[in-house]
């Protein structure tokens, strides 16, 4: 897209920014029910781009956003300009401010995204960028064990994330949530 709608497309190794609600023990019964359902007893918080678990904070796409967001289907909540994004976000409570890389190289993840963002792990989301195969599909025990996921519900190793991505596609070719992109997730420090 060009013109009044901008021309930003998400590319490999280019950070995108998004704010999502935090999901952890402070959610009380909702958290307890999630842990019982998922079997992910090691979790102390879920950090994911899955909007059913961690809702997007800036859901509405304002006209002023078009030059500062990714102009792709299902990607309108991802900002390309950190300063603009932070200005629009303000100072909401109980929010994770994330920088993410879609299908990054391992080198880009190792380089990091500066002092403001700390690497948290890898998520695998379907092609709609909406459902995590790791923490919202009930598990794929023949591909990965729940115990492999970190205390944030993510994979920590790049090679393992790639292997899980490949095996999901191989073993579940007709399952739409198994056709995943790998997302490297970095969280902004609270300071």
What local confidence, expressed as pLDDT, does residue 10 receive? 56
How confident is the model at residue 92, as a pLDDT? 86
Q: Is the pLDDT of residue 191 over 70?
A: no
What confidence tens digit (pLDDT) does each residue in 126-163 have? 998 889 999 998 889 999 999 999 999 999 999 999 99
| Token duo for residue 43 | 């979790």
Q: Identify whether the C-beta of residue 179 lies closer than 8 Å to the C-beta of residue 169.
A: yes
Q: What's the pLDDT band for 189 if we cut at 50, 70, 90?
A: confident
Q: Under 8 Å CB-to-CB from 127, ≥6 apart: which residues?
A: 74, 176, 179, 180, 181
The CA distance from 12 to 14, in Å, is 6
Mean pLDDT, rounded, for 94-106: 96
Number of domains composing the chain: 1
Which structural domain, as residue segments, surrounds residue 54? 3-104+113-188
Other CB atoms within 10 A of residue 79 CB? 24
Per the prediction, the chain carries an average pLDDT of: 91
* SS3 label, residue 37: helix
pTM of this prediction?
0.91
Q: pLDDT grade, residue 9 (50/70/90)?
A: low
pLDDT band (50, 70, 90) for residue 12: low
Q: Do residues 102 and 185 lie in contact, with contact meaning Cβ atoms separated by under 8 Å?
A: no
- The pLDDT of residue 164 is 98
CB 51 within 8 A of CB 127: no
């Amino acid at each position: 897209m060009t013109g009044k709608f901008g021309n930003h497309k998400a590319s490999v190794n280019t950070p995108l920014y998004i704010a999502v609600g935090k999901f952890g023990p402070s959610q009380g019964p909702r958290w307890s029910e999630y842990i019982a359902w998922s079997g992910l007893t090691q979790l102390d918080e879920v950090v994911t781009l899955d909007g059913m678990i961690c809702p997007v904070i800036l859901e509405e796409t304002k006209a002023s956003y078009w030059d500062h967001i990714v102009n792709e289907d299902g990607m309108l909540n991802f900002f390309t300009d950190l300063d603009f994004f932070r200005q629009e976000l303000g100072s909401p409570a109980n929010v994770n401010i994330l920088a993410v890389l879609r299908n990054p190289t391992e080198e880009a993840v190792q380089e990091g995204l500066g002092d403001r963002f700390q690497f948290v792990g890898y998520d695998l989301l379907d092609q709609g960028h909406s459902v995590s195969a790791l923490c919202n599909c009930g598990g794929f025990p023949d591909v990965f064990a729940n115990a492999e996921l970190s205390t944030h519900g993510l994979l920590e190793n790049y090679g393992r994330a790639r292997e899980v991505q490949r095996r999901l596609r191989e073993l579940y070719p007709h399952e739409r949530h198994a056709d995943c992109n790998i997302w490297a997730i970095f969280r902004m420090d609270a300071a």
